Chains A and B, each alone.
Chain A
């Protein structure tokens, strides 16, 4: 027996396929209405588990007997049944619209969409592949209602954020759960709170780990939005679940199918904040020329104040010759060179390169009536838009299924991804992120070519535009020396050439499963799945930078293993009543470990990036967490006459992170759907109509280690004295679980001969007893304490329209529109026994002028800052100097969460051509831009030279639109510099709405006709050209990308030195043979 078990396991791990002998081989072709073959359609012999699938030409073969019924199904097409009357059967399948769509729901159940009592939405794997986004999250942009996505498109391995139906938790994770072939996947983003606020100390954007999933291996993706759909995933399903099924082997025993795809994409940066080009950089000296003056070797020179990182210098004048920043290297041929004081030939936008990405994938697959396999390999080679940025990803996936006996099936899936990145982008307000200088502290006259070609002096020192500069005798003006040390900013190219950043992530995930059919009614299935990665990174800063030199080595290791067993039961009680049910158990264990080693006090030998090169004793820190959840669950689905469907489910979790006596929590769900078109005769225009309602709960546990008071060591010691601290957040031994309750109503309609489908949903979701760090005034000795408190509500409408206005022989036009109206309120934070609010808000993040809070009675992530003051007519009030008067307190300025998000898609197919477009949009939501704030402060912003129609305001002054204290129209002229440098602490002038309309995607593809391919080895050959993130057609935020974020964390709405978005164009060739 022992040997038998090991044989089963061995079978699971090895790709075994064997040619089975069967009764008779039935062959045929499956095509769609226009005769295009449908590869990968499934064929089953009705009443048996015997099945096959079609190959790339739509050909299939299956062993069956004459008189058996074959069921043909394909995602997006109506299943068709045919009785075998010969050895050759050709079938034409018709698209279903929404009618008979089959979707994968919780725990991998395949269900007819029409039977579901809750909202699910499938995403076409073609759309995911076509998007050509390295990060899977970005590929979902505009595709799904109820989903909000933020993230700078295509930045080298950067982070993106996704939420489904808003955020449930004040401070916890609000990202949905990704599940690949039944295995929950980690989606960590290694960003600090500092980084989310737009700050950080040379912190790189390490992206979010879901980007390890190779889009090319995805067969199907389903989004489960509501708690009813997610109850079976337990706690982590409460934020929604994105279910991914990877491709498996298809085809017949004709042999092996090969599929190949190659894509080349070109990226260019967009959304740059422009700089004014009327005045130059530095400051204005009190000399007649406005320049500093010096005498060197008897010659008088003018020189701009290059150590000043801003642009309040003299006005451009081609007749004025000055010593620019690169004229001070005594060994260089241009020593003492003077050049005119004019706008640069090459502005900062020329810093960026054209990014190029090559994406090649190939897969081999095959199947017979006993089993199938697929082996896929993808290589992505990306050159970033910032100089020397590079990403290389290799992904391998192996999938196989096999019928060991008539009753026993085994499956195995293994995925491995290796990602190597060099020179990622630094985010936020830091010298390492060139955007800090370019958008906030720059000199307008700087020519990027000169900076690119002069990163070091001929003696090898860094040569930065922002050097401390000339040392001049104050009275004689005699030049004494030149200090090449950077004042605030390193040369942006020197940074890219000399800073070290590299990381490697190895990730392996997969599962093996067994299913055994006990009898017609009962079956047992079990699955073990694991997700593992090791992430190693190295960072270094050389000597000579404005930042202290350093070297850091870090290691992150993660593993989560789930084991699950399920007993399934199905029975048809009568013609009308059908029951399917299961009970099951799951155990989850998760381990995370990180190790950080860093030099202390800088490095000794320049550019030798090694811990041994530390100036002081290196700092080492380790941190690890473990957690586990054990669960039992049960579910039953009752169907009555294909008209009424009732689903019930329940789950009980035991979590390691809650107190032992309190670690069990139970949550049920129920949903009901009623297909009224089956019960009532409506007009012929209504092909299908369903009403659905569901009510569900989902419990959630805490983070590890919140129960006991402990002492934390702070590193390093003080000499030989250890330094221990009491944690600033007070622990709580009495925690209980959080609970989310959701109510959902929905309506599905298919109209006009399946030409139009409408899916509408209303949801109302409340999360209570949230586990979070309730702020305490620091005089208590703590900044916060861990409590169960608070309540947050999300509610809204979702609409999805799909239409086919034109459908003729050669021409088909499809349109799609999805809309999500999002509402959110922080109902309660913490009340005392008398019902008084004890805590009014949680400060989540802040910059100089603005802060984002979770505040009672306001939407989640409410932005606060000083606002303008207004008179009774709504005019802004100015003071005696002509400056706006701002409120003394920080006022609520709006929610950073939009009110409405959506997408609009079109697809036109004409003969072998397909042209598709995608637009997405959002209405409402606000953002505070620190880049805009400092850009104005430092005199770079175009508004600092021309404001409100007034020209050259630096010379002429400007008049702010508004009224004086006495109510009369403002006529006080003010100097822009003194205005902008005095109001930067007030948020209102730099707060903008994040409404936008983006032209996200356009694609033209051509499929070579079969007649042409007949003489070639190809079954299918498609060529496409595409553009991605083409343009922002409308946006209230000037210049910048309203969707930019620096991490997938909760904090949003604070822009600071945004890494620019990219616009992409490319070509794609797909072949199958």
Chain B
């Protein structure tokens, strides 16, 4: 019996392990994640993710940079020939909604719940909202109609689509709300803003400048509304290169410029500058060409590859055609969010089209000079270039379109939008193209075709069609 008692005790020891249910739920406290964070760390990630996307392979290197024929693929030339499908942009769509917009939405909620000075909170919320406007513009400028009013709401598990027209109207309103409620005497984020480091006055100027860009984008579709916002925007624009909005990538490779990562991390060598870029910039004597393309032992003079060749033709020319320069593909080479030059080109157009009163040619010249300065061209060389290539008000679309095109080099996605709106410069459809005109829209993602088809079907019957023109693209 003594032994039986021992066994009983042994069993009880075992059972005592079993009966602690409190200990059970303690096991489920996640040691891998944080329960609370500073909203600025969500803002940082959203900013990095957005600009990394817009500058990255999917939207820029293999799309924007190709659509406007800055670059062409020197092997496996599918995208150069517009051979894409409904799955191609899934990752960008998903990333911008779930890694940019949702982070910003939560950051905004966290800021709202903070205690502190109201003016500082308002400034922070405005900054977050302007980030959200940029992200939505990237989406709608690519896809057109997108989920907007019902987006970022888990109650709406099948969010409906809004028309691009209504989205633009609301985005302009949000920019205006932000622009008019900044308090430049109060602070904002003390850390974590990777664009202006919390400088409210700069954010206010960027907000106005974005409003000018957005208003001009809809100027063919809704000139009246455009006029209203252009007028509002003009009051406090980015007025010097020092105020430009740049996103400077980090030197650590994981956070470096995606063009750099493509070459160094992924060891890809997929792109040559186009014959069009090289020939046209040579024709105009543009000193920026040397900054755009690379000269090395293998290809000692800049020579472009014809755009959109077949796979074999491109491969056979690959070793004797020029690559993009190392400068545009360095680790810390920035993504230009909005430059002073762009503001001047937008103003030139606004003056030319009488949305505002002013000297179109002077603005145009200021834009070219600023662009030259950005690319580190000597001012005397820039002046000579302007003499040789003056503003032509009779063909302002060509003048402004051309200079914007040159200025947007590396930001292919924005260049593609402005090329669609201004229809300049005149790009030629390559013979090997698999569609009948240069694409003007992104195909909707497969994830929406699979998971939200009821809503998608209401706005398009051909989600994979890429030559449809968007609402603001009138000609």
Q: Which label, helix, strand, loop or mixed, suits the secondary structure of the B interface?
A: helix
- The answer, among A5, A705, A718, for a CB contact under 8 Å with B48, is A718
B450 at the interface (CB under 8 A from A): yes
A576 at the interface (CB under 8 A from B): no
Give the chain A neighbours of B3 by CB distance below 8 A.
4, 405, 407-408, 516
Cα–Cα distance between A710 and B106 once the two chains are bound (Å): 12
B380 at the interface (CB under 8 A from A): no
A402 at the interface (CB under 8 A from B): no
- The answer, among B25, B44, B93, B315, for a CB contact under 8 Å with A660, is B25
Chain B: CB-nearest residue to A585: B18
Assess the B106–A780 pair: CB atoms within 8 A: no
Binary interface profile of B, 134-170, with partner A (CB < 8 Å = 1, else 0)?
0000000000001100111110111100000000000
Cα–Cα distance between A563 and B315 once the two chains are bound (Å): 66
Q: How far is the CB of B443 from chain A (nearest CB, A)?
A: 11
A606 at the interface (CB under 8 A from B): no
Q: Which of A753-786 contact B (CB under 8 A)?
A: 775-783, 785
Binary interface profile of A, 281-321, with partner B (CB < 8 Å = 1, else 0)?
00111100000100000000000010110001000000000
Q: How far is the CB of A229 from chain B (nearest CB, A)?
A: 24
Assess the B15–A725 pair: CB atoms within 8 A: no
Binary interface profile of B, 222-265, with partner A (CB < 8 Å = 1, else 0)?
00000000000000000000000000001011110000000011
Interface size for chain A: under 10, 10 to 19, 20 to 34, or 35 or more residues?
35 or more
B176 at the interface (CB under 8 A from A): no
Chain A: CB-nearest residue to B47: A718
Assess the A721–B4 pair: CB atoms within 8 A: no
Q: Of B35-43, B204-212, B284-292, B412-420, which stretch is located at the interface?
A: B35-43
Assess the B28–A656 pair: CB atoms within 8 A: yes
Q: Which of A469-506 contact B (CB under 8 A)?
A: 469-472, 474, 480-481, 483, 486-487
Most buried by A among B26, B33, B44: B33
Give the chain B neighbours of A487 by CB distance below 8 A.
269
Q: How far is the CB of A1021 from chain B (nearest CB, A)?
A: 46
Q: How far is the CB of B252 from chain A (nearest CB, A)?
A: 5
Give the chain B neighbours of A4 by CB distance below 8 A.
2-3, 6
- The answer, among A308, A600, A704, for a CB contact under 8 Å with B252, is A600
Cα–Cα distance between A707 and B30 once the two chains are bound (Å): 9
Binary interface profile of A, 718-735, with partner B (CB < 8 Å = 1, else 0)?
110111111110100000
Q: Of A69-77, A133-141, A665-673, A836-844, which stretch is located at the interface?
A: A836-844
- The answer, among B26, B87, B254, B451, for a CB contact under 8 Å with A776, is B451
Assess the B94–A783 pair: CB atoms within 8 A: yes
Cα–Cα distance between A838 and B106 once the two chains are bound (Å): 25
Assess the B252–A724 pair: CB atoms within 8 A: no
A-B residue pair count with CB separations less than 8 angstroms? 270
Give the chain A neighbours of B252 by CB distance below 8 A.
600-601, 616-617, 716, 719
Assess the A630–B18 pair: CB atoms within 8 A: yes
Given contacts A407-B3, A722-B44, contact A526 B10 (CB under 8 A): yes
A573 at the interface (CB under 8 A from B): no
Give the chain B neighbours of A781 by CB distance below 8 A.
97-98, 101-102, 105, 151-154
Binary interface profile of A, 689-727, with partner B (CB < 8 Å = 1, else 0)?
000000000000000110110111111101101111111
Chain B: CB-nearest residue to A853: B450
Chain B: CB-nearest residue to A524: B7
Give the chain A neighbours of B254 by CB distance below 8 A.
600-601, 619, 715-716
Give the chain B neighbours of A548 by CB distance below 8 A.
253, 264-267
Binary interface profile of B, 351-383, with partner A (CB < 8 Å = 1, else 0)?
000000000000000000000000000000000
Assess the B255–A718 pair: CB atoms within 8 A: yes
- The answer, among B25, B267, B451, for a CB contact under 8 Å with A840, is B451
Binary interface profile of A, 780-800, with partner B (CB < 8 Å = 1, else 0)?
111101000000000000000
Q: Of B271-279, B316-324, B401-409, which stretch is located at the interface?
A: B316-324
B220 at the interface (CB under 8 A from A): no
Give the chain B neighbours of A779 by CB distance below 8 A.
97, 146-147, 150-152, 159, 452
B21 at the interface (CB under 8 A from A): yes
A985 at the interface (CB under 8 A from B): yes
Cα–Cα distance between A250 and B318 once the two chains are bound (Å): 74
Q: Which of B42-59 contact A (CB under 8 A)?
A: 42, 44-45, 48
- The answer, among A470, A705, A718, A778, for a CB contact under 8 Å with B98, is A778
Q: Of A254-262, A391-399, A620-628, which stretch is located at the interface?
A: A620-628
B448 at the interface (CB under 8 A from A): yes
Give the chain A neighbours of B313 by CB distance below 8 A.
286
Given contacts A724-B42, A730-B154, contact A718 B35 (CB under 8 A): no
Give the chain A neighbours of B44 by CB distance below 8 A.
718, 721-724
Chain A: CB-nearest residue to B298: A471
Cα–Cα distance between A312 and B101 once the two chains are bound (Å): 46
Q: How far is the CB of A301 from chain B (nearest CB, A)?
A: 15
Cα–Cα distance between A586 and B15 once the two chains are bound (Å): 8
Given contacts A8-B6, A725-B45, A777-B447, contact A656 B25 (CB under 8 A): yes
B423 at the interface (CB under 8 A from A): no
Given contacts A526-B14, A981-B311, contact A305 B316 (CB under 8 A): yes
Chain A: CB-nearest residue to B445: A778
Q: How far is the CB of A171 from chain B (nearest CB, A)?
A: 15
Chain B: CB-nearest residue to A471: B298
A518 at the interface (CB under 8 A from B): yes
Q: Which of A603-640 contact B (CB under 8 A)?
A: 615-617, 619, 622-624, 626-628, 630-631
A514 at the interface (CB under 8 A from B): yes
Cα–Cα distance between A708 and B30 once the two chains are bound (Å): 9
Total count of chain B residues near the partner, CB < 8 A: 95
A468 at the interface (CB under 8 A from B): yes
- The answer, among A469, A624, A655, A660, for a CB contact under 8 Å with B31, is A624
Assess the B146–A705 pair: CB atoms within 8 A: no
B113 at the interface (CB under 8 A from A): no
Assess the B98–A483 pair: CB atoms within 8 A: no
A87 at the interface (CB under 8 A from B): no
B117 at the interface (CB under 8 A from A): no
A827 at the interface (CB under 8 A from B): no
- The answer, among B25, B75, B153, for a CB contact under 8 Å with A780, is B153
Cα–Cα distance between A545 and B265 once the two chains are bound (Å): 11
Q: How far is the CB of B303 from chain A (nearest CB, A)?
A: 8
Binary interface profile of A, 850-872, with partner B (CB < 8 Å = 1, else 0)?
01010000000000000000000
Give the chain B neighbours of A589 by CB distance below 8 A.
27
Q: How far is the CB of A615 from chain B (nearest CB, A)?
A: 8
Assess the B21–A654 pair: CB atoms within 8 A: yes
Chain A: CB-nearest residue to B110: A711
Binary interface profile of B, 12-34, with partner A (CB < 8 Å = 1, else 0)?
00110111010111111011111
Assess the B27–A716 pair: CB atoms within 8 A: no
Top 9 A-B residue pairs of the complex, sorted by shortest distance between their CB atoms = A781-B102, A710-B33, A779-B147, A601-B253, A705-B30, A656-B27, A723-B45, A777-B452, A724-B41
Which residues in A have some Cβ–Cβ distance to B below 8 Å?
1, 4-5, 8, 283-286, 292, 305, 307-308, 312, 405, 407-408, 468-472, 474, 480-481, 483, 486-487, 514, 516, 518, 524, 526, 528, 545-548, 563-565, 585-587, 589, 600-602, 615-617, 619, 622-624, 626-628, 630-631, 654-657, 660, 663, 704-705, 707-708, 710-716, 718-719, 721-728, 730, 775-783, 785, 838-841, 843, 846, 848, 851, 853, 888-890, 977, 981-982, 985
User: 18 A-B pairs, CB-CB below 8 angstroms?
Assistant: A283-B312, A283-B316, A305-B316, A526-B14, A545-B267, A563-B14, A564-B14, A565-B15, A714-B45, A722-B44, A723-B44, A724-B34, A777-B147, A783-B98, A839-B451, A846-B87, A890-B446, A982-B83
Which residues in B have some Cβ–Cβ distance to A below 8 Å?
2-11, 14-15, 17-19, 21, 23-28, 30-37, 40-42, 44-45, 48, 75, 83, 85, 87, 93-94, 97-99, 101-103, 105-106, 146-147, 150-154, 156-159, 191-192, 194, 250, 252-255, 264-267, 269, 297-298, 311-313, 315-316, 318-320, 434, 446-453, 455, 464
Q: A627-B28, A840-B453 are in contact. List 18 more A-B contacts (CB 8 A).
A: A1-B5, A286-B316, A471-B320, A480-B297, A548-B266, A548-B267, A563-B17, A565-B11, A586-B18, A622-B32, A624-B31, A708-B30, A712-B34, A724-B34, A725-B103, A776-B157, A780-B156, A781-B153
